[in-house]
Amino acid sequence: MRRVRYHAHGGPEVLAIEDAAVPEPGPGQVLIRTEAIGVNYVDVQLRRETSADSIWFRQLPGTLTGDVVGTVEQAGPGADPALAGTRVAVLHEDAYADYVVADTSWLVTVPGELAAGAASMVPTVGAVALGALRTGRLARGETVLVTAGAGAIGHLAVQLARRQGAGTVIATASPAKLGFLKELGADVAIDHTQAGWAAQVREAAPAGLDLVVEAVGGEMLHQSVGLLAPFGRAVVFGASAGDLTSLPVTSLFGLKTASGFSLLAWRTAHPDQARLDLAELTGLFQSGDLRAVTTSLPLAEAVQAHRLLEDRAVTGRLVLVP
């Protein structure tokens, strides 16, 4: 089978397609024949980080994360044999491959009629978008800002905020993607490449923001917290700018709160709710109430996929197809 690894840190060109044996499922695992792989921007940061002191640094050879959609070919010892033949999706840490083995604990059963791109959004990007909104305790009628609103997670957060009754949804993106944000249901779409983007948010929400769902980090996080109303909440789930800045306590003195969202922590703290989230997302995608926007490339073009990610040229989610 084919798999993609990197044996040096650097640009997209370090990604290499290798031949490998089809893996054997271990105890509590299944072998999945891959149908599609939803890629994650974090792997751009992991791939190019050379400093061992950074949280982005990974030992070599490097593997690539992703949400694998596929069919269970074989159940390992202790796994339910009835899973064989089942179409599933799962977050995986070595996802760029024709076959993967995965633990059964967080497998998501995927309806046959659900498009692979949409199915790839359930385990991670959909779960993060929904979980971040739950962590932020979004209430009906509130004003929400979604940064990086045209990205894999952001474009789902915009839609979910609207579905959950937000009064005003504001989202940021690069200029070419502003129309897309409006199509998703954002009331206000703002170009975050402009120096005055925060002033535009303030004009759209003069009383302040009730909730910020923040993916970028750095200066955008600082300015977003500054836009919060009293009792406003910021939920941070990423740092795509690569700047893991800290927030001074004084920035929260205006009765504001900031919290971080981690999908793995959410699963540990609220496993029952996390599983209900996956079922809810599957139903929303299946009914068409949640729109999945994808761009597909062959697995053999993993280098090009990472170039597109680095150039911020993708709207929605990028999917690799074996």
Q: Which amino acid is at 17?
A: I
Residue 57: the pLDDT is 85
| Intervals of the chain under pLDDT 70 | 241-244
Residue 117: the pLDDT is 97
3-state SS class at 171: strand
Do 167 and 205 meet the contact criterion of CB atoms below 8 Å apart? no
pLDDT in tens, 37-87: 999 999 999 999 888 888 878 999 999 999 999 999 999 999 999 999 999
Residue 51: the pLDDT is 87
Do 74 and 104 meet the contact criterion of CB atoms below 8 Å apart? no
Residue 219: the pLDDT is 85
Name the strand (E) or helix (H) holding 179: helix 178-184
* Residue 281 located in a structural domain: no
What's the rounded Cα separation, in Å, for the pair 243 and 248? 15
CATH number of the domain to which 17 belongs: 3.90.180.10
Phi-psi region of 110 (alpha: psi -120 to 50; beta: other; left: phi over 0): beta
Domain end residue (candidates: 221, 247, 265): 265
The answer to whether residues 100 and 20 belong to one domain is yes
What's the rounded Cα separation, in Å, for the pair 188 and 220? 17
The answer to whether residues 26 and 107 belong to one domain is yes
* Residue 71 located in a structural domain: yes
- The domain tally of the chain equals 2
State pTM to two decimals: 0.95
* DSSP state, residue 176: G
Residue 241: the pLDDT is 65
* Residue 285 located in a structural domain: no
The answer to whether residues 257 and 299 belong to one domain is no
The answer to whether residues 185 and 219 belong to one domain is yes
Placement of tokens 């789930």 in the chain: 237
pLDDT in tens, 110-142: 999 999 999 999 999 999 999 999 999 999 999
* Residue 80 located in a structural domain: yes
Domain encompassing residue 176: 125-265
CATH number of the domain to which 256 belongs: 3.40.50.720
Residue 255: the pLDDT is 93
What's the rounded Cα separation, in Å, for the pair 241 and 218? 7
